[in-house]
């Protein structure tokens, strides 16, 4: 008799648990990683995100692809901008309406997302979607591109994004993991929330102070050799991060002589990372 009762209890437990498990699986957020990439850097980030989140992934392609030569692409983009036209993209295979979350990736050109993304936004409605931007760049542009995304998609929820310099692609997997863990919204949905509690969270930057000779040397070493950045550090703040020390410099960006394509002189923010036993490297510029 005891065996019969125990068997019945066990059966009831299985039956009662099964619907909950199915409900959890069917309610899992659907994620699409949607990206445009010319040199494969953005593609590499997109693939890393899709793998980590077990997400669907699709590349945005052009009817008439850009030339892979840098200057030829820049010339075409400039000509298109002067004419007020955008490149034509091929139809997507994915139905964006089926997804809850869109990770939208692109290279930064002319200070914002590349033109194929503008073409996409004219064709696809991201209203009510959770949109996570990610980008690759030479010096920066994440913040300005996110601002443009907010203006282009006012009914979407544009979340904080991730950006990485093309020169630092080797640091991307570790940085991306940290980004996903530190963003509580993403951590709760995709990582169960537990990782957020255990990850190292950097303190806010303290108030800035005038740069010392040693700090100026760190800044100069970090930006040395980058052709589109000619700046002098004015003030700085620093904080401890997972792999070392991060500096936030306020600097004056000054165009080089005989370089009419350089940005006009302005105050900029330059983030510099100094890891143990490594030379300083700038991670992004915010103009």
CA distance 210 to 249: 10
In a domain, 84, yes or no: yes
What is residue 191's predicted lDDT score, i.e. its pLDDT? Answer: 61
Q: What is the pTM of this model?
A: 0.86
Axis crossing angle, helix 142-152 with helix 115-123, rounded to the nearest 10 = 20
Residues 47 and 155 in one domain: yes
Residues 147 and 256 in one domain: no
User: What is the mean predicted confidence (pLDDT) over 234-263?
Assistant: 85
Q: Give the count of domains, the chain.
A: 2
Q: Where are the alpha helices (DSSP H) in the chain?
A: 2-26, 41-53, 70-83, 115-123, 142-152, 172-182, 184-190, 194-198, 213-223
What is residue 156's predicted lDDT score, i.e. its pLDDT? Answer: 98
* For the chain, the helix, strand and coil percentages under 3-state DSSP, each to the nearest 5: 40, 25, 35
**pLDDT tens sequence across 173-187:** 999 999 988 877 776
The answer to which of 57-66, 80-89, 135-144, 179-188 has the lowest mean pLDDT is: 179-188
What is residue 192's predicted lDDT score, i.e. its pLDDT? Answer: 59
CATH classification of the domain holding 46:
3.40.50.360
Per-residue pLDDT at 17 exceeds 70? no
197: helix, strand or coil: helix
Which structure tokens are listed for 175? 């940085």
Residues 43 and 171 in one domain: yes
Give the end of a domain, one of 173, 198, 223. Answer: 198
User: What is the mean predicted confidence (pLDDT) over 96-115?
Assistant: 96
How far is CA 252 from its chain centroid? 26
Give the end of a domain, one of 198, 230, 253. Answer: 198
Q: Which residues pair with 247 in a beta bridge?
A: 238, 272
User: What is the mean predicted confidence (pLDDT) over 43-54?
Assistant: 96
CA distance 120 to 156: 14
What is residue 215's predicted lDDT score, i.e. its pLDDT? Answer: 98
Q: Where are the alpha helices (DSSP H) in 183-273?
A: 184-190, 194-198, 213-223
CA distance 249 to 229: 13
In a domain, 14, yes or no: no
**pLDDT tens sequence across 123-162:** 999 999 999 999 999 999 999 999 999 999 999 999 999 9
What is residue 193's predicted lDDT score, i.e. its pLDDT? Answer: 54
Q: Which residues, other chains included, contact 278 with Cβ-Cβ below 8 Å and sequence gap of 6+?
A: 244
120: helix, strand or coil: helix
* Higher per-residue confidence, 76 vs 68: 76
User: What is the mean predicted confidence (pLDDT) over 48-57?
Assistant: 95
Share of the chain above pLDDT 70, in %: 83
User: What is the mean predicted confidence (pLDDT) over 189-205?
Assistant: 71
User: What is the mean predicted confidence (pLDDT) over 96-119?
Assistant: 97
What is residue 10's predicted lDDT score, i.e. its pLDDT? Answer: 41
In a domain, 203, yes or no: no
Q: Sorting pLDDT into bands at 50, 70 and 90, what band is 5? A: very low
* Higher per-residue confidence, 257 vs 254: 254
Q: What are the phi and psi torsion angles at 147 (to 5°)? A: -60, -45
142 and 71 Cβ atoms separated by less than 8 Å: no
Per-residue pLDDT at 15 exceeds 60? no
- Tell me which range, 97-101, 191-195, 252-256, is most confidently predicted by mean pLDDT: 97-101
CA atoms 116, 118, 121, 127: torsion sign: positive
CA distance 270 to 286: 6
| Cα–Cα distances in angstroms (integers) from residue 135 to residues 94, 123, 185, 263, in the given order | 21, 21, 19, 21
Residues 194 and 215 in one domain: no
In a domain, 235, yes or no: yes
Q: Domain range holding 194? A: 31-198
Instruction: Please give the mean pLDDT across all residues of the chain.
Output: 87
Residues 216 and 181 in one domain: no
* Higher per-residue confidence, 249 vs 14: 249
Q: Where are the alpha helices (DSSP H) in 124-193?
A: 142-152, 172-182, 184-190
What is residue 173's predicted lDDT score, i.e. its pLDDT? Answer: 96
In a domain, 2, yes or no: no
Residues 162 and 72 in one domain: yes
Per-residue pLDDT at 20 exceeds 90? no
103: helix, strand or coil: strand
């Amino acid at each position: 008799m005891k065996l019969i009762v125990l068997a019945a209890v066990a059966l009831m437990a299985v039956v009662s648990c099964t619907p909950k498990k199915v409900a959890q699986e069917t309610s899992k957020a659907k994620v699409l990683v949607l990206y445009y990439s010319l040199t494969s850097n953005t593609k590499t980030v997109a693939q890393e995100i899709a793998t980590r989140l077990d997400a669907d992934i699709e590349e945005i392609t052009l009817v008439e692809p850009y030339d892979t030569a840098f200057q030829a692409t820049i010339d075409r983009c400039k000509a298109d901008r002067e004419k007020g036209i955008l490149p034509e993209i091929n139809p997507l295979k994915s139905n964006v309406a089926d997804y809850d979350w869109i990770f939208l990736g692109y290279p930064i050109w002319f200070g914002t997302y590349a033109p194929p993304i503008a073409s996409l936004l004219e064709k696809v409605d991201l209203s009510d979607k959770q949109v996570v931007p990610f980008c690759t760049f030479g010096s920066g542009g994440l913040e300005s591109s996110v601002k443009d995304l907010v203006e282009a998609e006012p009914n979407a929820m544009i979340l904080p994004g991730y950006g990485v310099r093309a020169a630092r692609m080797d640091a991307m997997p570790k940085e991306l993991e940290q980004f996903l863990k530190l963003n509580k919204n993403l951590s709760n949905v995709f990582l169960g929330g537990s990782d957020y509690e255990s990850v190292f969270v950097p303190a806010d930057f303290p108030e800035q102070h005038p740069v010392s000779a040693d700090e100026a040397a760190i800044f100069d070493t970090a930006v040395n050799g980058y052709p589109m950045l000619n700046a002098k550090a004015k003030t700085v703040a620093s904080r401890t991060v997972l792999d070392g020390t991060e500096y936030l410099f306020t600097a004056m960006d000054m165009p080089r002589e005989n370089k009419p394509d350089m940005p006009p002189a302005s105050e900029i923010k330059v983030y510099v990372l100094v890891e143990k036993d490594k030379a300083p490297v700038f991670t992004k510029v915010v103009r």
